[in-house]
Amino acid sequence: MSRDLSALITIGKRAFEEKDFFRAEKLLREAIAGGADYADIHYVLGLIYHQWGKLTQAVEHFEKSLGLNPEYIEVLLSLSITLNDMGRYDEAKIVYQRASDSLARAGEPAKGSLFRGKIANLHAELGELYLALRQYDDAIREYRKALAVAPEYPDLRIRMAIALREAGRMPEGLEEVRRVLASHPGNIQAMIQQGIFLYLSGEKPDARNAWEEALYRDPTNKLVQLYLNTLDREIVAP
C-alpha cells in the first residue's frame, strides 16, 4: 500500500471517530477508488450511511465487507440491524443466525453475554452517531434497543438519559439516571448526571448534594469540582 493511500485510510477513520462523517466518507471512498478495497473500510462506510438513513447504501457496503471477510462479526450484526430497520425481517434473521454461527465456530457461546454485548454496543454506536447529529429521537431509539438486549449495562442507560436531556425530556432522563443509581448506588457518572438534571431543573441544593456525594467517592474528579465551583460562584455573585 502506498503511503498516500495509507494516509487516506488513517485520516478517514480518524474523521469517523471524531464524528466528521462527511469528511470520513469522502476520504474512505477515495481510498477505495485508489485500490484499498478492504472489509473494514466498507464497514465504516456502512455505518455512516446507516446513520444518514441511506439504508440501501449501508446494506451494499456491509455486503461488500462480508464478501471480503465472511466472518466479520460486527458487520454481520450491523447488517442484521439495518435489514431489520428496513422491514426485511426474514433476511435479518438469516444474517443474525450467520453471526451466531460464526461466534459459535470461534468458541464463543452464541447466546452468551459477549454476543449480547456486541449487539448492544452496535446499537449504542448508532445512538452516539445520531446524538452527534442532534437526531435525538433516533438516538433514544437506538439506546432503547441496546438496553433491550443488555439492560444490565448502566453506561447505556446513562447515555440514553443524556439523549433524553438533549431532547428536552428532562423528567424521563432524570428517571433513567435514578434507575441506574437504584441498581448501582456508587456509580459516579450517574451521580454527576443526576446533579446536572437537578441543576438544570432549578433544584440547585439537591444538585450540590449529588455532586458532593460524587466528589466524596472520587475526590480527584475535576469535572465535579468544576460543577461545584460554578455553584459557589453563583452564590457569591452580586
Q: Give the model confidence (pLDDT) of 65-93 as tens digits.
A: 999 988 888 888 889 889 988 988 889 88
Q: Please say if the pLDDT value at position 192 is more than 70.
A: yes
Contacts of 232 (CB under 8 A, 6+ apart): none
Q: Count Cβ atoms below 10 Å from residue 146 Cβ, excluding itself.
A: 27
In a domain, 195, yes or no: no
CATH number of the domain where residue 126 is located: 1.25.40.10
Between residues 113 and 194, which one has the greater pLDDT? 194
pLDDT at 110 over 50: no
Say if 43 falls within a structural domain: yes
Residue 235 resides in a domain: no
Give CA–CA dist 185/33, Å, rounded.
Answer: 52
Mean pLDDT score, 38-55: 92
- For 141-186, what is each residue's pLDDT tens digit? 989 988 988 888 888 899 999 999 999 999 999 999 999 999 988 8
Residues 20-34: what's their mean pLDDT?
92
Q: Confidence band (pLDDT; 50, 70, 90) for 238?
A: very low
pLDDT band of residue 235 (cuts 50, 70, 90) is low
- Is 211 a member of any domain? no
Q: Which residues constitute the domain of residue 80?
A: 3-181
Indicate the number of domains in the chain: 1
Query: In this model, does residue 3 exceed pLDDT 90?
Result: no
Nearest to 162 by CA among 200, 112, 113: 200
Asked if 82 and 58 count as a contact pair (C-beta separation under 8 A), the reply is yes
pLDDT band at 104 (very low <50, low <70, confident <90, very high): low
Q: Please say if the pLDDT value at position 220 is more than 90.
A: no
